[in-house]
């Protein structure tokens, strides 16, 4: 027999620690006591991503979302909800159900996640154009082809307040307007899908999950600015996204939504894919255009901006994948609707890729102005393995760290800049107490030094010098002068580099230096790495009082640096030890110590 | 299909809208939707897809379609699978492997029971208003 109700009890670590298990047991007992055992299935689930309001109990099929449930509430939940079919209002998250369809401002309060860009991701089959169409797909295109003038389209964008999601946050309507105003018989539309920051995969996932939204948006732009050809620049290392784009383009052409005389409107537009080889600098717009033209991807001085002289010297409108994905929704729902979401400085939502030491890594889309605390602790479920939160790096290799003190800063373009980081494309790497801040800065710098195109001396030489300094510091050879040098080299790079890669490369160091001066100091003055990460500054040893001679460590050591008889205290040969830490993990008695 | 006119596109949308809401495509009564983004595939979504196909075959179930979708945003519990069948609430399962896939077919599809310990949800799914709801 089928069950009448399903009760989902959150079994995530957050809720477990607030007695979710007792709730689970009580619910089972109550079902039995009240005679509905066979009609209800009680299930323990994974984390709902809403730990702050835990423990969470959800009852299906009514979809009632109960929060802060106590074990004592089990009786009432069964007798009221299950038997009498009445929701237990005092425990509901959304107490006033009638408000569910109220205006955006009201609902916003309840929303942690709000999906505009990812509206179709994980919902439709990306390889079926019909499913996209069923979710209002290509209706924005209909609207602009038949009911709107180019100025009205751009006006709608202006009202929406949409700013570019590729990093710089430039108002999208202005970019479109410049390209529209530029007089030329040929113009181009370009989608920047290069996405190469470490830890970022928002754009790739969007293309994989909903390729048509980008195609539709580019066609809309073509109509607005007067272009008939678009290019999607994507790295060859994203084969699935490329495949889905190809399928989508094929289907759109078949339906007459791409190509000549779209929907009989007389407007022609087509798109081609251009593959990149995966150089980070090719994500910079002028380098990207060079790369499409077949040259080496090196940034060019601006002005002239691409909007005036872009691809093959023709006016070109270039936007980021996430920026594109917002466009059809703005056209459909209106700029005014979009404008209400977010903050005064930044409207709409932002997709972040949460990675690092976070419990629920994944893609999140939240309204602008959400705080980092909400993202990390509510949506992300907090730090994995019960460790202490240390910082979050936003903006990838161009950004900086956000520390505990700034957890409540609303995240938008301006807010992040104020605290010395930046929005960037949306990678968020979460660090815990085990991460060494100097080591993290070194990681990012290593990346930018590798990816510098080498055109400008400050970027090429400055980056390398900064990296050398960090090497010195993490090897315990740093001096106070090095800190002064970091500042002056950083300044030179910021002032003297042509593109943002060089200009922002010092950011991770400067910001970590600002927020964690004591950690740099420990490396320099005490020759100590507080997080125990920098290999040259730590040593492993075995505490003879705790070691019981189980040989577990010796068997794990990859270089045979540990010696000792069974049941006798073991010893590490410091000269042979490569500081891999395997013994530390292997020892069950806490005998291996890091200094 | 040949190129469409505006009229045809609107008709197509209207007809597909209903079927997507019911999620019943071409005579199928239910759907198993597998998250096949790069994260899902890396975590073994392909094996899961195969497991579902062969298990449905083995059990002689023909009224359920298996489809793919992009990343659901629950990367920490990939592979994820959404099961939408009549008379059962829509559920997202996480950490699905071939064994769990078999269990889903038996428990969820045949016995109408949820598979404990693998139920996940779109993060706080009912706190944001789904796009189609308004
Ligand atoms: C080194 C470097 C790398 C960049 N990488 C990307 C990228 O991968 N994707 C992207 O959309 N923008 C990237 N940008 C930003 C682009 O130059 C440009 O600002 C963006 O494509 C504009 O689109 P938007 O206005 O929609 O944000 C990068 C910039 C620099 C300096
Ligand atoms: S700043 Fe660096 S990456 Fe940018 S153009 Fe100059 S050398 Fe190349
Ligand atoms: S840290 Fe690694 S190399 Fe050194 S003693 Fe332990 S296991 Fe051996
Ligand atoms: S542990 Fe229950 S919501 Fe996260």
Give percent of chain B with pLDDT exceeding 70. Answer: 81
Q: Chain B contacts of A125, Cβ < 8 Å?
A: 33, 67-69
pLDDT of residue A48: 65
d(CA B26, nearest CA chain A) in Å: 13
DSSP code string of A56-117: -EEEETTTEEE-S--GGGHHHIIIIIIII----GGGBSS--GGGGGS-HHHHHTT-S---ST
- Nearest residue by C-alpha to atom 3 in ligand 2: A452
Q: Is A194 in the pocket of ligand 1 (CB under 6 A)?
A: yes
CA angle A524, A420, A520 (to 5 degrees): 5
Spatial contact of A565 and A531, defined as CB atoms under 8 Å apart = no
Residue A586 alpha carbon, nearest atom of ligand 3: 7
The whole-model pTM stands at: 0.81
- Mean pLDDT by groups of 10 residues along chain A of 595 residues: 78 76 92 89 74 80 84 92 86 60 35 80 85 94 97 97 94 98 96 91 91 98 98 94 96 97 96 95 96 96 94 97 98 96 94 89 88 87 87 92 92 91 89 94 96 96 97 94 96 96 96 95 93 89 92 91 91 92 89 89
The residues with which A6 forms a beta bridge, in sequence order, are A41, A60
H/E segment holding residue A440: helix A437-451
- Inter-chain CB proximity B122 and A142 less than 8 Å: no
Distance CA(A575)–CA(A213), nearest Å, equals: 59
Ligand 3 pocket, mutate which of A581, A586, A593 (most atoms under 8 A from CB): A581
Whether residue A28 has its Cβ less than 6 Å from ligand 3: no
Coil vs helix vs strand at A318: strand
- Per the DSSP assignment, residues forming a β-bridge with A43 are A8
A221 neighbors A209 (Cβ within 8 angstroms): no
pLDDT of residue A543: 93
Among the atoms of ligand 2, which is closest to the Cα of residue A460?
Answer: 7
| Alpha-carbon gap, residue A175 to A285, rounded angstroms | 13
What pLDDT is recorded for position A235? 94
3-class SS at A320? strand
Ligand nearest to the CA of A281: 1
Tell me, what DSSP letter sits at residue A247? H
CB A267 within 8 A of CB A236: no
Q: Which residues of B are less than 8 Å from A359 in CB distance? A: 76
A142·B10 Cβ contact <8 A? yes
The end-to-end CA distance of chain B, in Å, is: 31
Tell me the ligand closest to A458's alpha carbon: 2
Contacts of A78 (CB under 8 A, 6+ apart): A27, A30, A31, A34, A36, A40
Do A124 and B16 lie within an 8 Å CB cutoff? no
User: Is B119 touching A (CB cutoff 8 A)?
Assistant: yes
Backbone angles phi, psi at B114, to 5 degrees: -80, 155
Q: Within 10 Å of residue A50's Cβ, how many Cβ atoms? A: 25
Per-domain residue ranges of chain B: 29-124
**Separation in Å, CA of B15 to nearest CA in chain A:** 8
Instruction: Determine the residue of chain A that is closest to B89 in CA distance.
Output: A61
By Cβ distance, the residue of A209, A259, A265 closest to B69 is A209
The verdict on the CB of residue A540 being under 6 Å from ligand 3 is yes
Q: What pLDDT is stored for residue A2 in this prediction?
A: 65
Distance CA A73, CA A89 (A): 12
**Burial class of residue A521, CB neighbours in 10 A (0-12, 13-18, 19+):** middle
CA distances from A343 to A159, A209, A326, A393, A421 (A): 14, 27, 16, 22, 18
| 3-state per-residue secondary structure call for chain B | CCCCCHHHHHHHHHHHHHHHHHCCCCCCCEEEEEECCHHHHHCCHHHHHHHHHHHHHHCCCCCEEEEEECCCCCHHHCCCEEEECCCCCCEEECCCCHHHHHHHHHHHHHCCCCCCCCEECCCCCCCCCCHHHC
Facing residue for A255 by CB, picked from B1, B82, B123: B1
Residues in chain A, overall count: 595
Centre of ligand 4 from the C-alpha of residue A357, in Å = 17
User: Is there an atom of ligand 3 within 6 Å of A577 CB?
Assistant: yes
Is the N-terminal amide bond of A303 cis, ω within 30° of 0?
yes
In A421-533, DSSP assigns E strands to 427-432
Spatial contact of A198 and A396, defined as CB atoms under 8 Å apart: yes
Q: How far is CA A223 from CA A82, A176, A267, A268, A475, in A?
A: 55, 11, 8, 9, 57
Among A45, A206, A263, whose Cβ lies nearest the Cβ of B9? A263
Of A122, A257, A361, the CB nearest to B69: A122
The finding on whether A14 has its CB within 6 A of some atom of ligand 4 is yes
Distance CA A185, CA A162 (A): 28
Pairing mode of beta strands A57-60, A5-10: antiparallel
The per-residue pLDDT for A250 is 97
pLDDT at A95: 62
Alpha-carbon distances, residue A589 vs A171, A251, A432, A579 (angstroms): 58, 62, 24, 19
Nearest bound ligand to the CA of residue A55:
4
Token readout for A50 is: 């809403």
Q: List the domains of chain A with CATH numbers.
A: 5-108 (3.40.30.10), 129-339 (3.40.50.11540), 349-432 (3.10.20.600), 437-524 (1.20.1440.230), 539-594 (3.30.70.20)
pLDDT number for residue A371: 92
Measuring from atom 1 of ligand 2, which residue has the nearest CA?
A502
Spatial distance between the Cα atoms of A172 and A285, rounded to a whole number of angstroms: 14
Q: Judge contact between A461 and A470, C-beta under 8 A.
A: no
Residue A37 burial class via C-beta count within 10 angstroms: exposed 0-12, middle 13-18, buried 19 and up: middle
CB–CB of A44 and B117 under 8 A? yes
CB distance A142–B9 less than 8 Å? Answer: yes
**Are residues B16 and A61, on separate chains, in Cβ contact within 8 Å?**
no
Give the nearest partner residue to B13 out of A8, A110, A134, using CB atoms.
A134
- Residue B73 near residue A121, CB atoms below 8 Å: yes
Distance, first Cα to last Cα, chain A: 62
Closest-CA residue to A508 (of A415, A594, A418, A443): A443
Q: Which of B18, B43, B71 has the most A C-beta neighbours within 10 Å, making it the best mutation to test the interface with A?
A: B71
Which CATH architecture describes the domain B29-124?
Answer: 3-Layer(aba) Sandwich (3.40)
**Three-state SS at A474:** helix
State the residue for tokens 């607005």.
A224
Residue A542, both tokens: 């075995």
Ligand 1 atom index nearest CA of A166: 27
What pLDDT was estimated at residue B19?
Answer: 67
What whole-number distance in Å separates Cα of residue A194 and Cα of residue A207?
Answer: 12
pLDDT at A99: 36
The pLDDT of residue A51 is 65
CB contact under 8 A, A208 and B71: yes
- Contact at 8 Å (CB) between A543 and A523? no
Nearest to B75 among A136, A261, A361 (CB): A361
Does A382 contact ligand 4 (Cβ within 6 A)? no
Pocket probe for ligand 3: among A583, A592, A594, the residue whose CB has the most ligand atoms within 8 Å is A583
């Amino acid at each position: 027999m089928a069950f009448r109700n399903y009760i989902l009890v959150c079994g995530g670590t957050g809720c477990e620690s607030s007695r979710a298990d007792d709730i689970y047991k009580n619910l089972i007992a109550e079902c039995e006591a009240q005679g509905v055992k066979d009609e209800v299935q009680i299930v323990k689930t994974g984390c709902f991503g809403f730990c702050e309001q835990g423990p969470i109990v959800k009852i299906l099929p009514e979809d009632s979302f109960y929060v802060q449930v106590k074990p004592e509430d089990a009786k009432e939940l069964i007798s009221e909800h299950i038997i009498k079919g009445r929701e237990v209002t005092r425990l509901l998250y959304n107490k006033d159900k009638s408000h569910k369809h109220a205006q955006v401002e009201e609902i916003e309060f309840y929303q942690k996640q709000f999906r505009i860009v990812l509206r179709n991701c994980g919902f439709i089959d990306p390889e079926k154009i019909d499913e996209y169409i069923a979710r209002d797909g290509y209706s924005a295109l209909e609207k602009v082809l038949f009911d709107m003038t180019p100025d009205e389209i751009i006006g709608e964008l202006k009202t929406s307040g949409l700013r570019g999601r590729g990093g710089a946050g430039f108002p999208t309507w202005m970019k479109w307007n410049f390209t529209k105003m530029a007089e030329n018989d040929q113009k181009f539309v370009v989608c920047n899908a290069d996405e190469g920051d470490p830890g970022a995969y928002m754009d790739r996932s969007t293309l994989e999950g909903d390729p048509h939204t980008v195609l539709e948006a580019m066609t809309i732009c073509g109509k607005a600015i007067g272009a008939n050809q678009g290019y999607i620049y994507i790295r060859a290392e994203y084969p699935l996204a490329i495949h889905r784009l190809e399928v989508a383009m094929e289907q759109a052409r078949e339906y007459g939504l791409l190509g000549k005389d779209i929907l009989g409107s007389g407007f022609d537009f087509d798109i081609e894919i251009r593959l990149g080889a995966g150089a980070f600098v090719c994500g910079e717009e002028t380098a990207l255009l060079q790369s499409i033209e077949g040259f080496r991807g090196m940034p060019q001085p601006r002005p002239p901006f691409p909007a005036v002289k872009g691809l093959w010297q023709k006016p070109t409108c270039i936007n980021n994948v996430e920026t594109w994905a917002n466009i059809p929704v703005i056209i459909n729902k209106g700029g005014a609707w979009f404008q209400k979401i977010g903050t005064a400085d930044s409207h709409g939502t932002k997709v972040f890729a949460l990675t690092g030491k976070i419990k629920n890594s994944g893609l999140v889309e939240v309204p602008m102005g959400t705080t980092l605390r909400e993202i990390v602790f509510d949506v992300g479920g907090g730090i994995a393995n019960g460790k202490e939160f240390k910082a979050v790096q936003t903006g990838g290799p161009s950004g900086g760290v956000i520390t505990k003190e700034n957890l409540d800063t609303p995240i938008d373009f301006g807010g992040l800049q104020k605290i010395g980081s930046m929005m960037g494309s949306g990678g968020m790497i979460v660090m815990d107490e085990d991460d060494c801040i100097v080591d993290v800065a070194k990681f990012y710098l290593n990346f930018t030094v590798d990816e510098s195109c080498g055109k400008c001396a400050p970027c090429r030489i400055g980056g390398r010098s900064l990296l050398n300094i960090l090497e010195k510091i993490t090897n315990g050879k740093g001096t106070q002068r090095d800190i002064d040098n970091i500042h002056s080299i950083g300044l030179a790079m910021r002032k003297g580099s042509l593109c943002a890669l060089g200009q922002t490369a010092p950011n991770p160091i400067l910001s970590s230096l600002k927020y964690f001066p004591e950690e740099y100091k420990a490396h320099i003055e005490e020759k100590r790495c507080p997080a125990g990460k920098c290999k040259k500054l730590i040593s492993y040893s075995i505490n003879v009082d705790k070691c019981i001679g189980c040989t577990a460590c010796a068997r794990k050591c990859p270089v045979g640096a540990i010696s000792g008889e069974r049941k006798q205290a073991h010893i590490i040969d410091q000269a042979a030890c490569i500081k891999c830490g395997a013994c530390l993990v292997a020892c069950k008695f806490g005998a291996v110590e890091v200094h | 299909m040949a190129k469409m006119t505006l009229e045809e596109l609107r008709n197509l949308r209207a007809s597909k809208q209903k079927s997507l809401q019911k999620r019943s495509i071409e005579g199928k009564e239910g759907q198993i939707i597998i998250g096949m983004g790069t994260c899902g595939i890396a975590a073994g979504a392909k094996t899961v897809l195969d497991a579902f196909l062969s298990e449905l075959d083995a059990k002689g179930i023909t009224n359920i379609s298996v489809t793919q979708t992009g990343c659901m945003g629950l990367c920490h519990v990939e592979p994820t699978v959404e099961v939408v069948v009549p008379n059962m609430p829509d559920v997202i399962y996480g950490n699905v492997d071939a064994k769990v896939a078999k269990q889903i077919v038996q428990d969820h599809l045949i016995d109408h029971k949820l598979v404990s310990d693998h139920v996940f949800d779109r993060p706080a799914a009912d706190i944001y208003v789904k796009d189609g709801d308004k």
